[in-house]
């Protein structure tokens, strides 16, 4: 095709069509150049996952489709201005009137995403329970409690969305976690006590006990949980004044923020409770032992909630030599318990913390071998509905 003919040809085009087609293919061109030449990130802190590395072509990979999948992921993970696009997307969706983002109802189990509530709060969208995970978990936990025959405290923790309903968007549907609580409460008998935190943590108390950008309770919420738990055990809780709540300097953007990255979101502050009176608390994880319960390496990372105990491990043992009562507490738990441990450590000489999601030993033997005197289950209700731990409590 010679130049004149090309000109002639271009003249026939509708100029606007030419412009938008040019925009399309220029974007494609820039995108390709970016994919090829821009420096690559290995890890995305916002998503807490390793990004796809350069795909390797193998016959096997083509046959089972994993090669194709990995190219797709690679293009997505290293796309130009990825975070800007994601942030812009949140703004556009909010601008169009949406108040919940990041849902996926065609997926099993369904993902409800998050609500953008009042007072700069993000909340989990609580969905009605459609699986038997919850009932099997509760069944297994109560059976475990009956089997070990020591005082057992079951503390289901409601979500922020449950406790701060007035902050949810107008008329936003939110599953009532009372339903699950009542199911747990009905199991209360013998050595099992169920602790009700619904009124304690409610925003009607005038206090905000949850992070704005994270699904956990904040340190003050954890203190209330601690208080309720030890009061049930007839221990008088350490008063709040005995702790110095020191903020982590860097702002905290939690898991809910990660589900819908938004540039106008106010961050949270994580407070670490330092006990003013206490000498030395040690934490043992596997074979390693630390002094203190706060892990400094997380102070500067995105996941600041993991500053408490360094996140979740299969077993942590926290010892306080100042406490001479020889009480040994076992906690089976999810991450909600982590921020409660600094408070609990003031009342027990030993706390054995087991996260069943990572624990694969015989827990019944563990209780016997370590001469546990009291046991507690600290779980967020949402976690009990979503993740099965029942098989880890099987009697072997």
Partner 1 sequence: MIFSSLIFMFVFLPAVLILYYLVPRKYKNLCLFLFSLVFYAWGEPVYVFLMLSTIAFDYLAGHLITKYRENTVKARTVLVISICINLLLLGYFKYSGLLVDTFNSFTGLAVPVPDVVLPIGISFYTFESLSYMIDIYRGEAPAQRNIIDFGTYISFFPHLVAGPIVRYEDLAAQLQNRTETFEKFTIGGKRFMVGLFKKLLLANNLAILADKVQYMGNPSTLTAWLGALAFTFQIYFDFSGYSDMAIGLANMFGFNIPENFNYPYISRSVSEFWRRWHITLGTWFREYVYIPLGGNRCSKIKNVRNLAIVWVLTGVWHGASWNFAMWGAYYAVLIICEKLFLQKWLDKIPVFFRWLYSFLLSVIGWVFFSYLDIHKAFGVVAAMFGFANGTDNLGIYSLITYAPLLIVAAFCSSTLFEKLTEKLRKSGTVGKVIWSAGFACLFIVSLTFLVNNTYNPFLYFRF
Near partner 1 in 238-297, by CB under 8 A: 255, 258-259, 261
Peptide bond before residue 109 is cis, with ω within 30 degrees of 0: yes
Instruction: Out of 2, 39, 63, 249, name the contact with partner 1 by CB under 8 A.
Output: 63
Near partner 1 in 18-37, by CB under 8 A: 18-21, 23-25, 27-29, 31-32, 35
Instruction: Out of 129, 265, 335, 339, name the contact with partner 1 by CB under 8 A.
Output: 335
Stretch that binds partner 1, among 10-18, 197-205, 314-322, 364-372 (CB under 8 A): 10-18
Bridge partners (DSSP) listed for residue 101: 114
Question: What's the min distance (Å) between Cβ of 243 and partner 1?
Answer: 26
Question: What's the min distance (Å) between Cβ of 369 and partner 1?
Answer: 26
Question: What's the min distance (Å) between Cβ of 192 and partner 1?
Answer: 25
Straight-line distance from the first to the last Cα atom of the chain, in angstroms, rounded to the nearest whole number: 80
Question: What's the min distance (Å) between Cβ of 38 and partner 1?
Answer: 13
278 neighbors 344 (Cβ within 8 angstroms): no
How buried is 13 (Cβ within 10 angstroms: 0-12 exposed, 13-18 middle, 19+ buried)? exposed
Question: What's the min distance (Å) between Cβ of 340 and partner 1?
Answer: 16
Near partner 1 in 175-214, by CB under 8 A: none
Closer residue to partner 1, CB minimum distance, 151 or 160: 160
Question: What's the min distance (Å) between Cβ of 36 and partner 1?
Answer: 11
The bridge status of strand 271-275 relative to strand 100-101 is unpaired
Instruction: Out of 207, 284, 312, 373, name the contact with partner 1 by CB under 8 A.
Output: 312
262 neighbors 98 (Cβ within 8 angstroms): no
Distance (Å, whole) CA 224 – CA 198: 11
Residues 6+ apart with CB under 8 A from 364: 144, 147, 148, 395, 396
Distance (Å, whole) CA 50 – CA 283: 29
Q: Does 395 bind partner 1 (CB under 8 A)?
A: no
Distance (Å, whole) CA 244 – CA 236: 19
Distance (Å, whole) CA 374 – CA 119: 40
Instruction: Out of 39, 65, 206, 239, name the contact with partner 1 by CB under 8 A.
Output: 65
Instruction: Out of 136, 146, 150, 169, name the contact with partner 1 by CB under 8 A.
Output: 169
Closer residue to partner 1, CB minimum distance, 22 or 280: 22
356 neighbors 389 (Cβ within 8 angstroms): yes
How buried is 186 (Cβ within 10 angstroms: 0-12 exposed, 13-18 middle, 19+ buried)? exposed
- If you search the block for the tokens 């304690």, which residue do you land on? 200
Question: What's the min distance (Å) between Cβ of 154 and partner 1?
Answer: 20
**# residues near partner 1 by CB under 8 A:** 71
Q: Does 105 bind partner 1 (CB under 8 A)?
A: yes
Near partner 1 in 365-394, by CB under 8 A: 383, 386-387
């Amino acid at each position: 095709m010679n130049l004149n003919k090309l000109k002639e040809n271009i003249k026939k085009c509708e100029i606007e069509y030419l412009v938008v087609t040019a925009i399309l293919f220029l974007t494609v061109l820039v995108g390709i150049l970016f994919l090829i030449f821009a420096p690559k990130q290995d890890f995305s802190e916002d998503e807490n996952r390793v990004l796809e590395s350069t795909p390797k072509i193998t016959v096997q990979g083509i046959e089972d489709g994993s090669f194709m999948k990995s190219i797709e992921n690679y293009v997505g993970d290293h796309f130009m201005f990825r975070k800007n696009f994601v942030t812009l997307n949140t703004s556009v969706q909010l601008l169009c009137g949406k108040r919940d983002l990041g849902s996926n109802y065609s997926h099993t189990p369904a993902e409800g995403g998050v609500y953008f509530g009042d007072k700069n709060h993000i909340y989990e969208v609580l969905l009605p329970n459609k699986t038997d995970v919850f009932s099997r978990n509760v069944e297994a936990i109560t059976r475990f409690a009956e089997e070990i025959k020591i005082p057992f405290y079951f503390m289901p923790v409601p979500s922020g969305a449950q406790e701060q309903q007035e902050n949810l968007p107008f008329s936003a549907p939110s599953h009532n976690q009372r339903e699950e609580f009542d199911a747990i409460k009905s199991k209360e008998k013998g050595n099992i006590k169920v602790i009700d935190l619904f009124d304690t943590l409610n925003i009607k108390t005038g206090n905000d006990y949850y992070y704005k950008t994270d699904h956990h309770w904040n340190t003050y919420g954890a203190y209330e949980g601690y208080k309720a738990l030890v009061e049930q055990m007839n221990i008088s809780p350490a008063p709040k004044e005995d702790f110095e709540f020191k903020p982590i300097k860097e702002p905290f953007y939690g898991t809910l923020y990660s589900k819908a990255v938004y540039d106008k979101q106010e961050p949270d502050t994580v407070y670490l409770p330092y006990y003013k009176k206490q000498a030395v608390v040690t934490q043992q994880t596997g074979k390693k032992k630390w002094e203190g319960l706060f892990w400094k390496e997380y102070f500067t990372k995105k996941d600041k909630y993991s500053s408490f105990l360094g996140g979740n491990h299969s077993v942590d043992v926290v010892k306080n030599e100042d406490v001479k009562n020889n009480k040994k507490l076992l906690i089976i738990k999810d991450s909600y318990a982590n921020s409660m441990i600094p408070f609990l450590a003031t009342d027990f000489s030993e706390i054995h913390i087991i996260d069943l999601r990572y624990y694969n030993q015989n827990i019944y033997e563990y209780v016997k071998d370590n001469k546990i005197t009291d046991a507690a289950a600290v779980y967020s209700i949402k976690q009990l509905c979503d993740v099965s731990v029942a098989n880890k409590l099987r009697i072997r």
